[in-house]
Structures are given as structure tokens and as C-alpha cells.
Structure 1
Amino acid sequence: MEETNLEQKYNKWIWILSIVIPLAVAGLFLVKIPNVEPLTFLPPIYATINGLTAVVLVAAVMMIRKGNRSAHEKLMKVAIALSCCFLLMYIAYHITSESTKFGGEGVVKYIYLFILLTHIVLSIAVIPLVLITYVKALSLRFDKHKKIAKITFPIWLYVAVTGVVVYLMISPYYA
């Protein structure tokens, strides 16, 4: 009974964050802080954080498959913290710097756009999935946690990996 109350308590926050974060990120492309030095050093850092997130996610799955719940829990907290760090740096970069346009042509441009579009769409979808999955574990509802984690993990991993790929593809075009 208490577990259900815990889930109900967090459900409101899950949906608020799942709406506010994507809207804030979309809005940041319209907002630039005037008279501030562009934080152009951030993209390789937050791309590295995406890569680390992918590694940590895979390690966390390996730990739970080995039955090491404690290590899994710690690694998942690290993955969430890394994702939060990524988000803060991504926002900081985009409110201080102009967006970079991809300069490639032909098939490479279409591949880039496909990867970018799927990355963006799934990065929005993964927010509630991660939060719901985490709350299921907090609520000790491991049967439900495991069921949704099987959906969340591949999407989160895809977002983390494609974040690195998008950076590598666009990095030659940074000013």
C-alpha cells in the first residue's frame, strides 16, 4: 500500500518534468544571454558525458544480470546524474552560443538528419520512462520496474549513443 502511495506522490512530478524539460530545451533556442562569453568548449564535454552514460547503462544491466542489485542501483544513480549534467551543460551551451548547422551534403546529410530526429524524439520520450522506471524501483515494485526497464534501457542507450554520433558528425562545422 505504501509503495503505491510513493508512486502516486511522484507521478505528478514525473509528468511535470516530462513536459517542462522538453519545452524548456525547445525554448532555449529562442533565448540567448546577451553580453556573455559563448560556452563553446561544452559540446565535447557533454558528448563525452553521453558516452559515459551509455557505458554506465550497459554496466548497470550487466550488474543486475549478475544479481548485484546494489551495484546496479549505484550505477543507475550515476547514469541519472550524468544525464542531468548533460542537460545542464546542453542548456548552458545553447543559451550562450548560436546553433551550428550541419555542413554535410547528400546521403551523409540525410543520415545525420535521421539520427538527429530520432535522437530528439526519443530523448523526449525517455524522460518519463526513466523517471517511471526509477520510481518503480524506489517503490520496491521490482516486477513492474523490470517490465518497464526492458523498454527504457534500449531507448536511453540509443539516446546516449546517438548523442555522441550527432556530436561527431557536426563537430567539424563548429565555428
Structure 2
Amino acid sequence: MRQGRAEACAEFAVARAGHLYRAACLLTAGDTHLAEDLVQETLGRVYVHWGRVSRAENPAAYAQTVLTRTFLAHQRRRSSTERTMDVLPDRADAAGGDAVLRLTLLDALGQLPAKDRAVVVLRYWEDRSIAETADVLNASQAAVRTRCVRALGRLRDLLGEDIGAYAHP
């Protein structure tokens, strides 16, 4: 019986890992190493609580909630000596139109506070409702709406009016 639970959890992990990784990359504003760590931690927590996860109405949403909360917890416990950099040295050279747009959006996401970034990813990448987003973030629906408006306004300020120029080759 224990073997069957482990196999079911492994199948779930294989099926969801790619989606969780993409969401984690957005949450971390393109930090792929941190995204991998977050996904690994998320899948570890899902494995530990597989009995509860497998009985959930939507195990994928449960895993996404764990990912988002793991990301927010990581942001809260960041060492006071750690400093963020404006330019990361290991980014790819952005020669193509899609790559330029992707890097521009990731840079803008990276400049948002962690909770604002989480709201944008959940609402617009994950296409979650305000109620679902509020549940994941342990916040009120009004707080989510306010964060959405402020975060999108901040993104517009960061990206400027000419963001459309990146989308056309």
C-alpha cells in the first residue's frame, strides 16, 4: 500500500513539475536556480502530505498553493546580508523579439515586491480568481484586488508606453 502511494505521488510530481517550474520562474523573476529549489521543496512537502493532497478536490491547485507559500516564506527569511543585483550575470543574450520581451517582463516582475509578484503570477499566469488568490495568500479579496491594481500600475510604469514594440518582430 505504501508503495502505491509513493508511485501515485511520483506520477503527480512528474506531471506537475514543469508547470510548477514555470510558475516558480515567474515568481522568482527568472532566477532559475531558486525556481528549481522552490519546486523541489514544494514537491517534498507534497510528498510528505500526500495522503491529504491526494484527497484534495484539486491536487494541482494544492501544489500551486504550497509553491506560492514556499516562495513567500523564502522572501521573508532572506538574510539581511544578501543583496540583490540590478543585472544578473548569467542571463542569456536577448537578440530575438520574444527573448527581449520575456527578459523585459521578467526584469519588471523582479522589481515588484514579493507579494505583488505572487498576485500577478496567480491572477494572470495561473488565471486564478480573486477568491482563489486570496485563499492562497491568506489575504482578503479586497487586499488582492488592491495589490492587483497597484502591481499592474507599477508594471506599466516600469515597462513604459512602448512595451508593444517588443511584441512585434
The structure whose RCO (Cα within 8 Å, separation 6+) is larger is: 1
Which structure: greater helix fraction?
Answer: 1
- Output the TM-score relative to the length of structure 1: 0.31
- Output the TM-score relative to the length of structure 2: 0.32
